[in-house]
Amino acid sequence: MVEFTDISKEIIKELEETLVKISDAEVEQLFEQIQKADKVFFVGVGRVLLSLEAVAKRLAHLGINSVVVGQITEPAITEKGLLIVGSGSGETAFPLAIARKAKQHNATVIHIGANPNSSMKEFADYFVRIPVSTKLNLPNEVPSIQPMTSLFEQSLLLLGDTIALMMIKEKNIDMPSLWQYHANLE
């Protein structure tokens, strides 16, 4: 039988290799755009959306006005808004349509994905590459033993948590004080 510890070490190794290959400059642009937006919208599908929902929630804990596209309470996006699109391929139909709409309202769009030359390039103002393996076999891709796009989704979540910690450190936020923003109807 395959050991849990052996498999988890391989996954952690993949994550480490991926995260160190994400561009500091691209992350800095993402960080700056999040800080200056009046509202930060998130769009993705499937497991990517689940990772983005977790990022949106964490940023809300830090006082960022975070919105997941499609929520019943979703407000209008404006030129002061930021749309963060999670799509490894950059070809997923729903995020492409939402990015197109966001640009019609003069919002800033950031694509977080694996493919810098995707259809999303037409709508994105900024791009953050998570260089994981794709069916395109692009340069510098991190190969994965995991099924389908697991490495992308995990890396996306950790990228979001890293940005949150960067904000905490930059703003010198007292960590225990963040509990005031945690859900309390549970």
Tell me the CATH number at 21.
3.40.50.10490
Residue 135 is predicted with a pLDDT of 74
Residue 183 is predicted with a pLDDT of 83
**Assigned domain for 1 exists:** no
Burial class (CB in 10 A: 0-12, 13-18, 19+), 24: exposed
Apex 163 CA angle, 159 and 166, nearest 5: 140
Rg (CA), the chain: 17
- Sorted by sequence, the CB contacts under 8 Å of residue 36 that are 6+ apart come out as none
Residue 82 is predicted with a pLDDT of 98
Of 135 and 6, the one with more pLDDT: 6
**Assigned domain for 7 exists:** no
Mean pLDDT, residues 87-115 taken together: 97
Q: Number of structural domains, the chain?
A: 1
DSSP 74: -
**Rounded CA gap, 81 and 38, in Å?**
6
Of 56 and 135, the one with more pLDDT: 56
pLDDT-derived band of residue 158, with 50, 70 and 90 as boundaries?
Answer: very high
User: For 110, phi and psi rounded to 5 degrees?
Assistant: -120, 125
Average pLDDT of the chain is 95
Catalytic residue list: 153
Contact in structure between 107 and 79 (CB atoms under 8 Å):
yes
* pLDDT tens for each residue of 106-145: 999 999 999 999 999 999 999 999 999 887 778 789 999 9
**Assigned domain for 12 exists:** no
**Assigned domain for 179 exists:** no
**Rounded CA gap, 156 and 49, in Å?**
10
**Assigned domain for 4 exists:** no
* pLDDT tens for each residue of 22-35: 999 999 999 999 99
Contact in structure between 51 and 77 (CB atoms under 8 Å):
no
90-91-94-96 Cα dihedral, nearest 10 degrees: 60
Residue 2 is predicted with a pLDDT of 84
**Assigned domain for 104 exists:** yes
Residue 136 is predicted with a pLDDT of 76
Q: Which domain holds residue 162?
A: 17-70+78-90+99-172
pLDDT of 68 above 90: yes
Residue 184 is predicted with a pLDDT of 87
Distances, alpha carbon 7 to alpha carbons 12, 47, 114, 146, in Å? 9, 21, 24, 10
**Assigned domain for 163 exists:** yes
Percent of the chain with pLDDT over 70: 100
DSSP 177: G
**Assigned domain for 168 exists:** yes
